[in-house]
């Protein structure tokens, strides 16, 4: 495991020599090739509800955003979207939403169990902070993986950005999920107002310490309907450096080239795949709801349907000389 110190990571985040940056990307690409191979895993993302009880400062779904038209898919609609994912050849579905208390735990567990039984795909949940008991029930129902970014390892910044969460509870969630046997994904937001390079380096060291199975790095994209209106977006350069360093430090974690990275720059996802990333999560949310899941403005794929996104990413992967993985893409740590 490469022994990068915090100082070394900060220096690379500050590096200005283009040749040294290019070498960092080449090194990350080599580690990706050695550790996870040439294939790219696809995960079908279903954004099933835009209701949220929380008020994170950066997010368009925050409960105080009165400008957002909210939607919530029925359990039947969510199942149909997962079935469509299966028909399109996806081996993983990711069910993501705001923290929406509308669905009862029993109903949601039944949905997970039905998807597992009838569709035989891996199920990843990304539905926020829950109790250990709720995570346990969802695991028993068949959920395989869980994504919950800690967003920032800086406790003060965390407290400012997530006023109704606590740092301790976010990490408690990660610990519970690990103990319950989930494959665990976390990650951060890159470029939050007030975030230092030192804290970004700490984020990377945290990814390693937590022995994550998946790490998602999201560039912060400013949403004008939030209190962070007027702050600058993350730069693509910083997300790519974070991707490369995360690959080198975590070695075999699954790292997605995120939709937000593709929103910052139309070749952003290709560039991320070339410096460490090995996963893409195409949007499989039904077209009528896509525009309403507005975490940030100008999100890509709003006018496409699931089949078009599948074709698009398959072409993107082929264009890089890589292929779509045929297996489920489980954790490489187990
Ligand atoms: N509500 C759950 C949670 O917060 O963990 C899951 C859904 S939430 C919309 C998924 C991710 O969206 C968050 O972890 C956050 O990093 C990202 N996100 C929210 N607002 C964003 C923004 N303005 N720019 C980029 N990513 C954003
Ligand atoms: Fe809700 Fe998640 Fe957005 Fe926070 S990031 S407001 S918890 S959807
Ligand atoms: Fe949706 Fe390219 S991934 S159009």
Which residue's CA is minimally distant from atom 16 of ligand 1?
189
> Integer distance in angstroms from the first to the last C-alpha of the chain?
16
Distance CA 141, CA 139 (A): 5
CA 318, chain centre distance (Å): 22
The finding on whether 98 has its CB within 6 A of some atom of ligand 2 is yes
Whether residue 289 is contained in a domain is answered as yes
Sign of CA dihedral 281, 137, 289, 116: positive
Whether residue 198 is contained in a domain is answered as yes
The finding on whether 213 has its CB within 6 A of some atom of ligand 1 is no
For the CA atoms of 160, 58, 283, 47, what is the dihedral angle to 10 degrees? 70
Distance 157 CA to ligand 3 centre (A): 33
Whether residue 111 is contained in a domain is answered as yes
What's the confidence (pLDDT) of residue 1?
A: 54
Whether residue 325 is contained in a domain is answered as no
Whether residue 94 is contained in a domain is answered as yes
Assigned token pair, 151:
């967003």
Per-residue pLDDT of the chain (334 residues; tens, 9 = 90+): 567 999 999 999 999 999 999 999 999 999 999 999 999 999 999 999 999 999 999 999 999 999 999 999 999 999 999 999 999 999 999 999 999 999 999 999 999 999 999 999 999 999 999 999 999 999 999 999 999 999 999 999 999 999 999 999 999 999 999 999 999 999 999 999 999 999 999 999 999 999 999 999 999 999 999 999 999 999 999 999 999 999 999 999 999 999 999 999 999 999 999 999 999 999 999 999 999 999 999 999 999 999 999 999 999 999 999 999 999 999 998 6
Ligand number, closest to the Cα atom of 51: 2
Pocket residues for ligand 3 (CB within 6 Å)? 282-283, 301, 304, 308-309, 312-313
Whether residue 332 is contained in a domain is answered as no
Which helix H or strand E contains 199, and what residues bound it?
A: helix 197-209
By residue range, what is the domain housing residue 305? 6-319
Total of domains in the chain: 1
What's the confidence (pLDDT) of residue 334?
A: 66
Whether residue 55 is contained in a domain is answered as yes
Q: Which atom of ligand 2 is nearest to the CA of 98?
A: 8
Q: How distant, in Å, are the alpha carbons of 50, 112, 236, 294, 295 from that of 290?
A: 10, 22, 24, 8, 11
Distance CA 237, CA 240 (A): 5
Q: Helix H segments across 88-196? A: 105-119, 132-141, 155-161, 167-179
Which residue of 59, 158, 220 sits with most ligand 1 atoms within 8 Å of its CB, as the best mutation to test the pocket? 59
Tell me, what CATH number does 267's domain have? 3.20.20.70
Tell me the angle at which helices 18-36 and 236-250 cross, rounded to the nearest 10 degrees: 40
Whether residue 39 is contained in a domain is answered as yes
Distance CA 166, CA 136 (A): 21
Q: Cα angle vertex 210, ends 263, 152, to 5°?
A: 45
What's the confidence (pLDDT) of residue 3?
A: 75
Ligand number, closest to the Cα atom of 285: 3
Q: Read off the DSSP letter of residue 114.
A: H
């Amino acid at each position: 495991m490469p022994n990068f110190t915090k100082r070394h990571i900060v220096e690379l985040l500050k590096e200005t020599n283009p040749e040294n940056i290019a070498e960092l990307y080449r090194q990350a690409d080599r580690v990706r090739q050695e550790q996870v191979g040439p294939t790219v895993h696809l995960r079908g993302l279903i954004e099933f509800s835009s209701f949220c009880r929380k008020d994170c400062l950066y997010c368009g779904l925050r409960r105080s955003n009165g400008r957002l038209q909210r939607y919530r898919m029925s359990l039947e609609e969510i199942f149909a979207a997962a079935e469509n994912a299966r028909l399109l050849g996806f081996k993983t579905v990711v069910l993501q939403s705001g923290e929406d208390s509308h669905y009862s735990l029993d109903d949601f567990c039944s949905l997970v169990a039905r998807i597992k039984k009838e569709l035989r795909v891996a199920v990843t949940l990304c539905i926020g902070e829950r109790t250990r008991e709720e995570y346990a029930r969802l695991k028993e129902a068949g959920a395989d993986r869980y994504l919950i970014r800690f967003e920032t390892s800086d406790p003060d910044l965390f407290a400012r950005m997530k006023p109704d969460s606590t740092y301790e509870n976010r990490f408690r969630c990660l610990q519970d999920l690990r103990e319950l046997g989930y494959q665990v994904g976390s990650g951060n937001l890159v470029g939050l107002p007030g975030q230092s390079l030192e804290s970004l380096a700490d984020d990377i060291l945290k990814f390693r310490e937590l022995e994550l199975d998946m790490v998602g790095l999201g560039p912060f994209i400013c949403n004008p309907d939030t209190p962070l209106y007027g702050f600058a977006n993350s730069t693509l350069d910083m997300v790519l450096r974070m991707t490369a360093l995360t690959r080198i430090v975590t070695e075999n974690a699954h790292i997605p080239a995120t939709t937000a990275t593709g929103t910052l720059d139309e070749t952003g996802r290709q560039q991320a795949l070339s410096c460490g990333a090995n996963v893409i999560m195409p949007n499989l949310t039904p077209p009528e709801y896509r525009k309403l899941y507005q975490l940030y403005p100008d999100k890509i794929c709003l006018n496409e349907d699931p089949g078009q996104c599948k074709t698009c990413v398959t072409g993107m992967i082929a264009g890089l000389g890589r292929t779509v993985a045929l297996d489920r893409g489980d954790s490489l740590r187990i």
